[in-house]
Amino acid sequence: MTTLAKVPVTVVTGFLGSGKTTLIQHLIRNANGKKLAVLVNEFGSEGVDGDILKSCADADCPTENIVELANGCICCTVADDFIPAMEQLLARPVKPDHIVIETSGLALPKPLLKAFDWPEIRSRITVDGVIALADAEAVAAGRFAPDVAAVDAQRAADANLDHETPLSEVFEDQIACADIVLLTKADLAGAEGIRVAKEVIAAEMPREVPMLPVVDGTIDARVILGLGAAAENDLAARPSHHDGEEEHEHDDFNSVVIDLPEIVDVEALVASIKGLAREQNVLRAKGYIAVEGKPMRLLVQSVGERVRHQFDMPWGMRPRQSKLVVIGEHGDIDEAAIRARLGV
């Protein structure tokens, strides 16, 4: 039977390493019978997050319903990438009940919301809600948002002072667009960290929205799917630093892909990745590593000096090729120095 109902789309946004892929993994495994499709966008050419999501595909979200866009920021490639990808998902023999979009950690959500007004798709999909993830520990430590009180005091003395950075602007734009904010890594932040993070985020919000602490992406899908926000019709309530601009650039950020040999010492690699964050201001690293004598591939993900790693699945027929995607602000990405720190 043909239906004219629009397919709801949930946009999952959040800074690098905030836990977007972990959240969507949980949604795929706990969709309560909904047939899901996922569009995942990554900053850089290596599709690590898409590969992670495909590893947990099931009957309600088969592998072919997980589409990767690794050619740049989704909000900058609407006509070339986003619209065709959405049309591809909507043309599936079994139309999805719900589509989840994982934006890159550097994407601005508002330009993406504007794309929902494109003639090719506007009568077929609607933005059910924007879910912004914020690493509670990082926010509480002041790593993404400025000290609002200090900046206000300085601005009172000097009207020309501007303390905004590319990092804080991206963070603030993502938060300002949200219908719900999920405070991730709540176990690492603790009760006091959650309290401070809520205060910091509330100071940046143009309107009051729920803020919920989560651990390892665990949340009832019914809380974040089915909001009915129709966010594409509510853009004025979602201000952006880039309002009024015809387009925005991501020249402030850069990424490199480093090919590595098989490694023997996992802890030495972890120490090198921590060194990249400490010495070269690398924001994020992620990739798959071949470990000598191990049939499983090692998934490595870092945010700053916080590094997580686990053996996730056998290499199987895939080539045992170690690759690490390294992301940082443009002036901090020195490929030669990164290779030297990693010993290649």
In the prediction, which pLDDT does 79 show?
A: 54
Q: Are residues 159 and 74 in the same domain?
A: yes
| DSSP track, 273-314 | HHHHHHHH---EEEEEEEBTT-SEEEEEEEETTEEEEEEEEE
Owning domain of residue 24? 7-237
- In degrees and rounded to multiples of 5, residue 150 shows phi and psi of -65, -45
Q: Are residues 265 and 232 in the same domain?
A: no
Q: What is the pLDDT of residues 20-75, one digit of tens each?
A: 988 998 998 888 888 998 888 865 545 555 565 656 556 667 777 788 876 555 55
How many domains does the chain contain in total? 2
Q: What is the pLDDT of residues 214-223, one digit of tens each?
A: 999 999 998 9
In the prediction, which pLDDT does 246 show?
A: 54
Least confident of 69-78, 145-154, 201-210: 145-154
In the prediction, which pLDDT does 215 show?
A: 93
Q: What is the pLDDT of residues 90-125, one digit of tens each?
A: 888 888 999 999 987 777 888 888 888 887 788 899
Q: Are residues 221 and 263 in the same domain?
A: no
Q: Are residues 215 and 276 in the same domain?
A: no
Instruction: Show the tokens assigned to 340.
Output: 């030297």
Q: Are residues 226 and 258 in the same domain?
A: no
CATH number at residue 287: 3.30.1220.10
Q: Are residues 156 and 302 in the same domain?
A: no
In a domain, 129, yes or no: yes
CATH number at residue 19: 3.40.50.300
Name which residue leads in pLDDT, 161 or 202.
202
- Cα–Cα distance for residue pair 127/336, rounded to 1 Å: 42
Q: Are residues 224 and 288 in the same domain?
A: no
SS (H, E, C) 133-199: EEEHHHHHCCCCCCCHHHHHHHHHHCCCCCCCCHHHHHHHHHHHCCCEEEEECHHHHHHHHHHHHHH
3-state secondary structure at position 265: coil
pTM here is 0.72
Q: Are residues 228 and 258 in the same domain?
A: no
Q: Are residues 162 and 66 in the same domain?
A: yes
Is the confidence at residue 156, as pLDDT, over 60?
A: no
Q: Are residues 198 and 301 in the same domain?
A: no
Q: CB under 8 Å to 199, separation ≥6 — which residues?
A: none
Q: Are residues 277 and 221 in the same domain?
A: no
Residue % of the chain over a pLDDT of 90: 31
In a domain, 225, yes or no: yes
- Cα–Cα distance for residue pair 315/301, rounded to 1 Å: 18
